[in-house]
Chains A and B, each alone.
Chain A
Amino acid sequence: MLSKKQARAFFLGGTLVTFLIFIGLTVYSLSEGNDQSNKENLTASVVRGKEIWESNNCMGCHTLLGEGAYYAPELTKVIDRRGEGYVKAILMSPVPWQPNGRKMVAYGMSKNEAEDVVAFFKWIGKIDLNGFDRIVSPLAKKKINN
């Protein structure tokens, strides 16, 4: 029968080994040759766009890379789907945008801010998502195929 000492060794040993493997895999997957996060195209405008995305908690309604709140549409590939002009118009709108009755906060962004957010979305759209991009955005897929 298992003793308390053996149980403790199982806990400590198992934790240490899996944690080391976890660190190893993190280093491996983020290393130069294996990186697929589109980091080479990270411009100042994209970074500004990300800041706007965060400071307004857009993820509190929308999802991006499948992460967010499921209340408003997924925005990965949104530019392919809707086009730049449409997205900018929403961001710059002074009154709440409410297609189909569900309201978005009226952010009334400047042209420059809206362009940064669009640059951010475009950058997101180029990340290699292991196939998720094709599932999450069937409309974009149709557009690409046509």
Chain B
Amino acid sequence: MKYKSQKVAYWFFAFSMLLLILQITYGFVMGFARIGMDGLHEFIPFNTARAVHTNLLVVWLLSGFMGAAYYIIPEEAQNELVSVKLAYVQLISLAAVGVTAVIGYHFNYWEGRKFLEIPRPLDYLVVVNVLLFLGIILLTLFKGKRRTTTALVLSMGLLFAALLYLPGMIPFDSQVLDSFFRWWVVHLWVEGVWELIMGGILSFLLIKLTGVDREVIEKWLYVIVGLTFLSGVLGTGHHYYYIGVNKIWLIVGGIFSALEPLAFLAMALFAVNMYRKGEKKHPNKLALYWTLGAAIVSFIGAGLLGFAHTLPQTNLYTHGTLVTAMHGHLAFWGAYGMIVLAIISYSLPNLTGRKLYDSSRGRMAFWLANIGMIGMTVAFGVAGVAQVYLERKFGLDFMKVQKEISIHFVVLILCATIFTTGVILYIVDFYKHGTPTDEALESKE
């Protein structure tokens, strides 16, 4: 690492890893409940497990993004963070809000709006927390010696993510409007501004790992994020087909969301091409695995599997079925999970001074996690397609269908076990790196 204050990133990453393990644990609670093993129902009913599972996902990714920003911005802006103390305050308050929310979910303290279950009073604390984070990042950037495109795109993504949280806080009496504006947050996050964050991190990693000229990489970064917004903003329409709003969204959402895979395809081609073009072969192979993996798996999970059910004619049958869970798992894993793990793999040796660049444990972690997640995606997909046919084509009762497809959840649990083994190996590797130290300063990359 080049700047002392980058060390704060480590603790955000460590917090991320803790939440990831908890997220997976609640995933297992749901998986077992689906095959009839719901012994925990009284303490952790399915709706609690579900809210915890998705919210922990959001928080571990956000914590990973924040850590990434605390690591990347000083290096890009060539300036120490304006306040390390405040960054720690921000981490502790983020953890406090997160823990309160998760505990609250076990006691019926929530809002019951998919992905945005955090109760309103805690929402305000989230806003304060994010403002503090943005203050530190933007001020560091403003006071820095240089302003790179990578840093600007990353900061812009973080700033817009914060702004877009606000429409989700407007109260509505109508379920339709509630849902309509909830997607402004959820969709415009994951299929919009989060891709700026992903693009920024990807660009930083490619510059460091491949040695390709910054100007070339950043030019393509603009093209990719341009494609993202061009398709993604109006692509929001694919959530509006069947929730009680005008038919105009069937056309607009259909056309533009069908273009969304282009941005992911561009991202995958870009990463692979830069890798081929690069003359510098960085010794940190694991970081390279995760970086290229993120670009490729996000194209499959977010791009292709999203496209598979985005057209209104298909979505009419798949809307509200397990087909969505199939797409959701591989998309979040590929696009956001893997990019966070990539920046962690890259920065850990630099923060701690331990160059565990290419351990067999690290490689096993990568392959097991990915094979497991692909297996889970297939299990969800088969269950989802069977559900669509039995329930929506043949008109069988919901629970009858659930019994028919429960075998796929046994497969899901088996694949989830492989996935979890991979994640645990990754965390063991994380732990083996030790904690950040000033001795790692100015170390060669």
Name A's B-contacting residues (CB within 8 A).
2-4, 7-8, 10-11, 14-15, 18-19, 21-22, 25-26, 28-30, 34-39, 42, 46-47, 50, 53-61, 63-74, 96, 99-103, 105, 120, 124, 127-132, 135-136, 138-139, 142
Distance in Å: Cβ of B174 to nearest Cβ of chain A: 6
Could you write out 15 A-B pairs with CB less than 8 Å apart?
Answer: A4-B149, A4-B218, A15-B230, A18-B230, A21-B234, A59-B114, A61-B47, A64-B175, A66-B243, A70-B321, A71-B33, A72-B46, A74-B320, A105-B45, A120-B175
Asked if A135 contacts B392 (CB within 8 A), the reply is: yes
Given A71-B50, A100-B399, A65 contacting B173 (CB threshold 8 A): no
Interface status of B99 (Cβ within 8 A of chain A): no
| CB neighbours of B398 from chain A (8 A) | 72-74
A59: which of B112, B174, B325 is its contact (CB, 8 Å)? B112
Distance in Å: Cβ of A55 to nearest Cβ of chain B: 6
Distance in Å: Cβ of B342 to nearest Cβ of chain A: 23
Asked if A129 contacts B243 (CB within 8 A), the reply is: yes
Distance in Å: Cβ of B190 to nearest Cβ of chain A: 15
Distance in Å: Cβ of A124 to nearest Cβ of chain B: 6
Given A54-B113, A59-B113, A139-B395, A7 contacting B223 (CB threshold 8 A): yes
Write out, one digit per residue, whether chain B residues 299-321 have a CB within 8 A of any chain A CB (1) or not (0): 00000000000000000110111
Asked if B399 contacts A11 (CB within 8 A), the reply is: no
Given A4-B222, A71-B46, A50 contacting B246 (CB threshold 8 A): no
Asked if B46 contacts A61 (CB within 8 A), the reply is: yes
Asked if A103 contacts B34 (CB within 8 A), the reply is: no
Interface status of B248 (Cβ within 8 A of chain A): yes
Residue of A whose beta carbon sits closest to that of B392? A135
Distance in Å: Cβ of A56 to nearest Cβ of chain B: 6
Cα–Cα distance between A26 and B233 once the two chains are bound (Å): 12
Distance in Å: Cβ of B404 to nearest Cβ of chain A: 12
Asked if B244 contacts A36 (CB within 8 A), the reply is: yes
Interface status of B421 (Cβ within 8 A of chain A): no
Interface status of B220 (Cβ within 8 A of chain A): yes
| CB neighbours of A2 from chain B (8 A) | 219, 223
Given A18-B230, A37-B244, A67 contacting B174 (CB threshold 8 A): no
| CB neighbours of A56 from chain B (8 A) | 47, 108, 112
Cα–Cα distance between A11 and B192 once the two chains are bound (Å): 13
Interface status of B117 (Cβ within 8 A of chain A): yes
Cα–Cα distance between A66 and B322 once the two chains are bound (Å): 11
Interface status of B402 (Cβ within 8 A of chain A): yes
Asked if B179 contacts A14 (CB within 8 A), the reply is: no
Cα–Cα distance between A64 and B30 once the two chains are bound (Å): 20
Report the contact-size class of chain B (Cβ under 8 Å from the partner).
Answer: 35 or more
Asked if B177 contacts A66 (CB within 8 A), the reply is: no
Asked if B226 contacts A61 (CB within 8 A), the reply is: no
Interface status of B41 (Cβ within 8 A of chain A): yes
Residue of A whose beta carbon sits closest to that of B52? A60
| CB neighbours of B108 from chain A (8 A) | 55-57
Asked if A57 contacts B399 (CB within 8 A), the reply is: no
A36: which of B229, B246, B319, B395 is its contact (CB, 8 Å)? B246
Asked if B226 contacts A10 (CB within 8 A), the reply is: yes
A57: which of B47, B176, B179, B227 is its contact (CB, 8 Å)? B47
**Which of A56, A132, A138 has most B Cβ within 10 Å?**
A132
Given A14-B229, A67-B179, A67-B243, A25 contacting B250 (CB threshold 8 A): no
| CB neighbours of A54 from chain B (8 A) | 111-113
Interface status of B267 (Cβ within 8 A of chain A): no
| CB neighbours of B392 from chain A (8 A) | 135-136, 138
Distance in Å: Cβ of B192 to nearest Cβ of chain A: 9
Cα–Cα distance between A47 and B173 once the two chains are bound (Å): 6
Residue of B whose beta carbon sits closest to that of A60? B47
Residue of B whose beta carbon sits closest to that of A15? B229
Interface status of B247 (Cβ within 8 A of chain A): yes
The 8 nearest A-B residue pairs measured at CB = A60-B47, A66-B320, A132-B242, A138-B395, A11-B226, A7-B222, A57-B112, A37-B176
Residue of A whose beta carbon sits closest to that of B108? A56
Given A59-B114, A63-B320, A103-B38, A29 contacting B245 (CB threshold 8 A): yes
Residue of B whose beta carbon sits closest to that of A47? B173
Interface status of B403 (Cβ within 8 A of chain A): yes
**Which of B176, B180, B322 has most A Cβ within 10 Å?**
B176
Given A29-B249, A128-B244, A132-B319, A71 contacting B226 (CB threshold 8 A): no
Cα–Cα distance between A70 and B318 once the two chains are bound (Å): 11
Cα–Cα distance between A103 and B41 once the two chains are bound (Å): 8
| CB neighbours of A59 from chain B (8 A) | 47, 112-114
B324: which of A8, A35, A70, A71 is its contact (CB, 8 Å)? A70
Asked if A132 contacts B241 (CB within 8 A), the reply is: yes
| CB neighbours of A25 from chain B (8 A) | 234, 237, 248-249, 252
Residue of A whose beta carbon sits closest to that of B388? A135
